[in-house]
Amino acid sequence: MPDLVARARALADDLLFPAAAEVDRRGAVPRSHFDALAAEGLYGLAAPPGVGGAGVGMDGIILVLEAITGGCLSTGFTWLQHHGLVAGLSGSDRADVRERYLPDLVSGVLRGGSAYAGVIPTPPRVRARRVNGGYRFDGDAPFVSGWGGIDLLQLSGREDDTVVNAVVDAVEGDGLAATPLELNAAQATATVRLALTDYFVPDERVFATVDHAQFVGANTIGSRFNGCAPLGHAERCARLIEEAGQPDTASALRAEQNEIRKRLDAGLADPASLPSARAAGADLAYRSAGALAAATGSRAVLAGEHAGRLVREATFLLVAASRPEIKDGLLALARR
């Protein structure tokens, strides 16, 4: 096991999970959580080793993501958004933009978020149009996490069949407005809806323009990484179920984890199979949390109990970072 994976698991067990109930109660992740992730080098997971990346390979990245999201979902989900911007800049041929932002993003001095899902559907939710000196963006990004705690945002918009990717400051301003969302789980993710109205982004902030089909294809890895959160959540539930004196149930749930992990990995080579594997992971997280509530008993409905929080967070994972195909897969599982 790479040393970084062991350190991530220790951080999840010793810092994140013991504080998760308080984070949930307060609805805010302490800055010290993100500082601890940065101190362990966990903001550079998606970067190549040559620019300060962790160098643990795909398997190591997946294990780290599962560990951190299984420690505290609000912390892990917010931090997870950072890696999309790191990956995008790492692959950019705009050396000036890379050199300006990437080193500080990899070290965690700067923290990033993402608003790119709106370009995947047709028609897109976020459009870009070429103007003198840059692009203007219009539309809305309905689910952007980390607002108020992130410094930079990957903003993507579509102009016909071209996706325009830019790095912008994560602050409200002329043409960019943020509306906080009230969530019944993971409120500490500080999630907002962004409204873009004739929002200008200069050329020096644009790091890539790519064909829409190419952009969607490149998101296969991101979708695989998003599948880590449900499995991290399911494993935390399995550990607590075992501690509650139900080792056979925990063992059965872990066997399902292993099978779904294999399906998710296979989805990297067969992207068409990835949505069904993502659906299976979210379904397992939800059932694992329900099993934990049953194993916990009546205490599960008391405020501050892990079981009740994990049930609510499992509901969050049914819909967060989802796509229509994943929704269809979940509903198909419900009809079995």
Q: Residue 2: pLDDT band by 50, 70, 90 thresholds?
A: low
Q: pLDDT for 20-76, tens place per residue?
A: 999 999 999 999 999 999 999 999 998 988 888 888 899 999 999 999 999 999 999
Mean pLDDT estimate for the chain: 96
Q: What is the mean pLDDT of residues 173-194?
A: 97
Q: pLDDT for 237-256, tens place per residue?
A: 999 999 999 999 999 999 99
**Under a CB-based contact definition with an 8 Å cutoff, are residues 253 and 288 in contact?**
yes
- 161 pLDDT higher than 60: yes
The pLDDT > 90 percentage for the chain reads 93
* Buried-exposed string 241-265: b where 16+ CB fall within 10 A, e elsewhere: bbebebeebbeebbebbeebbebbb
Q: Rounded to two decimals, what is the model's pTM? A: 0.95
- The backbone torsions φ and ψ at residue 201, rounded to the nearest 5 degrees and listed phi first, read -125, 120
How far apart (Å, rounded) are the C-alpha atoms in residues 190 and 143? 10
Helix axes of 306-319 and 274-296: crossing angle, nearest 10 degrees: 160
Q: pLDDT for 270-313, tens place per residue?
A: 999 999 999 999 999 999 999 999 999 999 999 999 999 999 99
Q: What is the mean pLDDT of residues 100-121?
A: 95
**Under a CB-based contact definition with an 8 Å cutoff, are residues 94 and 206 in contact?**
yes
- Spatial CA neighbour of 154 closest among 233, 224, 198, 215: 215
Q: What pLDDT does 318 receive?
A: 97
**Under a CB-based contact definition with an 8 Å cutoff, are residues 42 and 33 in contact?**
no
How far apart (Å, rounded) are the C-alpha atoms in residues 157 and 322? 19
HEC per residue, the chain: CCHHHHHHHHHHHHHHHHHHHHHHHHCCCCHHHHHHHHHCCCCCCCCCHHHCCCCCHHHHHHHHHHHHHHHCHHHHHHHHHHHHHHHHHHCCCCHHHHHHHHHHHHHCCCCEEEECHHHCCCCCCEEEEEECCEEEEEEEEEEECCCCCCCEEEEEEEECCEEEEEEEECCCECCEEEEECCCCCCHHHCCEEEEEEEEEEEHHHEEEEEEHHHHHHHHHHHHHHHCHHHHHHHHHHHHHHHHCCCHHHHHHHHHHHHHHHHHHHHCCCCHHHHHHHHHHHHHHHHHHHHHHHHHHHHHHHCCCCHHHHHHHHHHHHHHCCCCHHHHHHHHHHHCC
Q: What pLDDT does 54 receive?
A: 80
The pLDDT > 70 percentage for the chain reads 99
- Residue 128 forms beta bridges with which residues? 137
How far apart (Å, rounded) are the C-alpha atoms in residues 314 and 282? 7
